[in-house]
Amino acid sequence: MFEKLLPYDAAHLILSAYVKYYHQYKRITKRAPIRFEHRDWHGVQADARERLTLYRDKVGATTEKVQALLGDKARDRHTWKQIKEMYLEEIMNFNTRNIAETFFNSVFRHAHKGLSADEELMFVHATGSYREFRSTIPIFQTFFLVQPVEVVIRQLFSYYAFDAPWEDQERDIRYIADALNRKLLPGGRLPRNARLEMLKSIFFRNKGAYIVGRLYLEERVYPFILPLLHEEKGIYVDALLLEYNDVSSIFSYNRSYFLVDVDIVSEMVDFLSSILPSKNLGELYNCIGFEKHGKTVLYRDFLRHMDRSLDHFVIAPGIKGMVMLVFTLPSYNMVFKVIKDHFPPPKKVTEQEVREKYELVFFHDRVGRMADSHMFENLVFPRNRFSQELIGELLLECPSKVVVTDKTVEIKHLYVEKKMIPLNLYLETATPEEAEEVINEYGKAIKQLAAVNIFPGDMLLKNFGVTRLKRVVFYDYDEIGFLTDYNFRRIPEPRDYYDELSAEPFYSVGPDDVFPEEFPRFLIGRQDIREIFYRLHKDLYDVRFWREVQERLRKGDIFDVFPYRQRLRFKKVYRSRG
């Protein structure tokens, strides 16, 4: 009798699932300050992983329910068009309408595997600016600056209550005021209307908490970030971050997502954009934990860029990989990676294993050293934007994943990542100072990956990239593994003259055996670069380094890896003051 209401019922089913998802998402996020107060670092990491799986689980379960409800109309275009229209009516005044649209898209794609983006049946384009939604009470607290600045900082801290003691809050207030006066207020002069606007929500990740805001001085806006740590003696402020590059690193595309309680997501993103103007909005949605909507925003940005550009997709510069075919659009800041159909020796991994490696990275703490990726299926490009060389390479290396017509190139499965300069190419034109900087970063990257139980496997320079901020990031995952799964060994002494001259190892080598003494032979070809690396990170050639890290990891230790420069830490700046 009420069959006409079937599309409405389906729309309401999806919307109800979204509301439940968002409630659970926020509940997990709201556990973060409690974890911080109790120094439950393993719990923080578990919550971060749980939140990542929550979306997939909800979408999968919702899709099954919608398909069962629709029955033989589960693939009917007209029915789905009505579902979309009724869903839009219901979310029109949602303060998270944009996130709700992405949830709908995910359910639709899950129910229509093999289809590319459908503008008629999906929210491919945004239906509004979302800026019509504003908090009735601002999401930030305003503090007008006066001298002495300590008075304002003390007032600021009164708004951030923790159910845990501070180590020495008055000391931290002095440090913050001193750092602010030295860097931005020489002579203590305050311009008119100088003020701080501090987000009420605190950002949590791993062992840190971050109070995030912006500082207005005359016509300029500065970031104002206070990283907090909690150790045995209590909570303390570790640094004051006022420079864009330091803050950009904290919100990097290569780091795990924050746990931060958000009400109107777009408003939070707008605020962050004011202190991180060079970051695209998709990256900001990612960093606060809405990575699926970040992917939606990335795709919309890509479509706009295609409309505004004329250049052609080409094979990415650098040494071609054995596992991935990588291409790029020179005018666009992302690269596209397709798994090849066959891998030449000595590669032994399967395509499924490569996909699993990308899954591992997605759920793992990337600690700023592994590139975040968005996986796309059935992505359609205009053929006239592809170089003929690239089309030929795709058909040769990835024929099972590519469908080429007169007008389109459809790729069934690919990864999209931030564009970086391959480390080996960067070094070809680097000055001696630049070479030393990035080689030091290269060693730090390997060590910080080890600290979070990741061994890159293939540590060649070509598998690392250099970011705009000269950070070195790993991006080749086909041989990645957990550090604790490997057996780090010393090379045995030769037993006799024949052992010493043997072209093949005279000792047994297991599949998971690693000999750090061999690293100098294959990691770096150039003598001058090899000498820099040895001077800065020779401990990586010693089996003791790797075994010690393994031992700590097996005991459950969580290493301190800071997303800002060590020299900014108050413990170093004010060391002589105690």
Q: Quick one: DSSP state of residue 507?
A: S
Contacts of 129 (CB under 8 A, 6+ apart): none
Asked if pLDDT for residue 2 goes beyond 80, the answer is no
Q: Give the residue-averaged pLDDT of 32-58.
A: 96
pLDDT band at 227 (very low <50, low <70, confident <90, very high): very high
Q: Give the residue-averaged pLDDT of 389-405.
A: 96
Alpha-carbon distances of 476 from 320, 497, 512, rounded to whole Å: 12, 39, 19
pLDDT band at 190 (very low <50, low <70, confident <90, very high): confident
Predicted structure pTM score: 0.93
Instruction: Map residue 195 onto helix, strand or coil.
Output: strand
Q: Quick one: DSSP state of residue 313?
A: B
Q: Which residue has the tokens 């029915």?
A: 79
Please give the Cα distance from 1 to 446 (Å, whole number).
Answer: 65
**Side-chain half-sphere exposure of 137, counting CA atoms within 13 A:** 4
Closest of 134, 67, 138, 167 to residue 107, by C-alpha: 67
Taking the C-alpha atoms of 282, 287, 288 and 294 in order, what is their torsion angle to the nearest 10 degrees? 20
| Per-residue pLDDT reduced to its tens digit, 274-319 | 999 989 999 999 999 999 999 999 999 999 999 999 999 999 998 8
Tokens of residue 61, six digits:
């379960």
Amino acid, single-letter form, for residue 362: F
Q: Which pLDDT score is estimated for 132?
A: 66
Is the model more confident about 524 or about 12?
Answer: 12
Q: Give the residue-averaged pLDDT of 131-138.
A: 78
Amino acid, single-letter form, for residue 286: N
Closest of 372, 365, 368 to residue 452, by C-alpha: 365
Tokens of residue 490, six digits:
């010393």
Alpha-carbon distances of 121 from 76, 100, 422, 552, rounded to whole Å: 11, 15, 40, 52
Q: Quick one: DSSP state of residue 370?
A: B
Q: What is the DSSP string of 378-426?
A: EEEEEGGGB-HHHHHHHHHH-GGGEEE-SSEEEEEEEEEEE--EEHHHH
Q: What backbone torsions phi and psi does residue 81 show, to the nearest 5 degrees? A: -65, -40
Alpha-carbon distances of 325 from 23, 364, 393, rounded to whole Å: 40, 24, 8
Is the model more confident about 100 or about 507?
Answer: 100
Alpha-carbon distances of 148 from 178, 222, 390, 485, 553, rounded to whole Å: 10, 20, 63, 55, 46
Please give the Cα distance from 132 to 339 (Å, whole number).
Answer: 42
Closest of 269, 289, 290, 276 to residue 204, by C-alpha: 289
Alpha-carbon distances of 27 from 24, 123, 262, 467, rounded to whole Å: 5, 27, 11, 35
Q: Quick one: DSSP state of residue 224?
A: E
Amino acid, single-letter form, for residue 198: M
| Per-residue pLDDT reduced to its tens digit, 70-87 | 999 999 999 999 999 999
Q: Give the residue-averaged pLDDT of 130-136.
A: 72
Tokens of residue 163, six digits:
């159910």
Q: What is the DSSP string of 466-484?
A: E-TTS-EEE---TT-EEGG
Asked if pLDDT for residue 387 goes beyond 60, the answer is yes
- Within 10 angstroms of residue 91's Cβ, the number of other Cβ atoms is 23
> Given the DSSP bridges, would you call strands 408-418 and 373-382 parallel, antiparallel or unpaired?
antiparallel
Tokens of residue 488, six digits:
């780090």
Q: Give the residue-averaged pLDDT of 35-41.
A: 97
Please give the Cα distance from 115 to 101 (Å, whole number).
Answer: 18
Please give the Cα distance from 74 to 522 (Å, whole number).
Answer: 55
Alpha-carbon distances of 218 from 133, 192, 214, 231, rounded to whole Å: 28, 7, 13, 38
Q: Which pLDDT score is estimated for 511?
A: 87
| Per-residue pLDDT reduced to its tens digit, 473-526 | 999 999 999 999 999 999 887 776 666 666 677 777 888 999 999 898 888 888
Asked if pLDDT for residue 192 goes beyond 90, the answer is no
**Side-chain half-sphere exposure of 413, counting CA atoms within 13 A:** 14
Alpha-carbon distances of 340 from 108, 324, 449, 478, rounded to whole Å: 28, 6, 26, 12
Q: Which pLDDT score is estimated for 502?
A: 67
> Given the DSSP bridges, would you call strands 487-488 and 513-514 parallel, antiparallel or unpaired?
parallel
Q: Which residues are catalytic?
A: 372
Q: Which pLDDT score is estimated for 193?
A: 86
Q: Which pLDDT score is estimated for 1?
A: 42
Please give the Cα distance from 262 to 12 (Å, whole number).
Answer: 24
Helix (H) or strand (E) holding 33: helix 32-37
Contacts of 528 (CB under 8 A, 6+ apart): 435
Query: Which residues of 270-319 form beta strands (DSSP E)?
Result: 314-315
Please give the Cα distance from 379 to 168 (Å, whole number).
Answer: 54
